[in-house]
Chain A
Amino acid sequence: GAGVSQTPSNKVTEKGKYVELRCDPISGHTALYWYRQSLGQGPEFLIYFQGTGAADDSGLPNDRFFAVRPEGSVSTLKIQRTERGDSAVYLCASSLSSGKNAGELFFGEGSRLTVL
């Protein structure tokens, strides 16, 4: 596709359930990022992939959060035992390269997660 695609656009789940959020980056982009944006806040970094490997996962809040990118393209963010505090918009972005040039990130429209 022409841009970064994220699915689902909206997800409502119950506390304690498992959730998967998908990101399809721009073709050819080797770097992929996940951010979390709570209401009224700026996006917060979660994890960054360079190719298939997680180059920096220091932003993941705890071990309930996990992300994969098995073939270096599509990525899935997985949240186990969801809590109400996980409610947020999860943004995915991709870029051609990493490092400071990674500032030219192309973002998707995000997945809004609501945990009841």
Chain B
Amino acid sequence: AQTVTQSQPEMSVQEAETVTLSCTYDTSESDYYLFWYKQPPSRQMILVIRQEAYKQQNATENRFSVNFQKAAKSFSLKISDSQLGDAAMYFCAYISGSRLTFGEGTQLTVNP
């Protein structure tokens, strides 16, 4: 069974600074996708960024980028120039078939 682990229950960052959220996963599959989702207090999960396992190049979406280390099964999220609106719960997720498996989440606080 696939598992996703986020070892940082909480993280904080100063506004305009950079923060990195960690994620590791376990799988025997070679073809899969990885995602970071953001969940604000409204409860709605919002896709932040996705990475296809067969692509070596790290995905980037504006201020959000990932460090994907396939051999180490590591998938961290870097948020640059943090903004107050980035404060939320962040979930790392994995999909191989049709089932999306989530980690436990990291609560990010952005301090003004």
Interface on A for B, CB 8 Å cutoff? 31, 33, 40-45, 48, 50, 55-56, 59, 89, 91, 93, 98-100, 102-105, 107-110, 112
Q: How many A-B residue pairs have CB under 8 A?
A: 65
Interface of B toward A, CB cutoff 8 Å? 4, 31-33, 35, 42-47, 50, 91, 93, 95-105
Query: Is the CB–CB distance between B98 and A110 below 8 Å?
Result: no
Determine the residue in chain A with the shortest Cβ distance to B32. Answer: A100
**Given contacts A103-B93, A103-B95, are A45 and B44 in contact (CB under 8 A)?**
no
Residues of chain B contacted by A59 (CB below 8 angstroms):
99
Q: Decide if B98 touches A107 in the complex (CB within 8 Å).
A: no
Interface pair A102/B98, CB less than 8 Å apart: yes
Q: How many Å lie between the Cα of A110 and that of B35 in the bound state?
A: 20
B96 partner residues in chain A, CB cutoff 8 A: 100
Select A48's contact among B99, B101, B103, beta carbons within 8 Å. B99
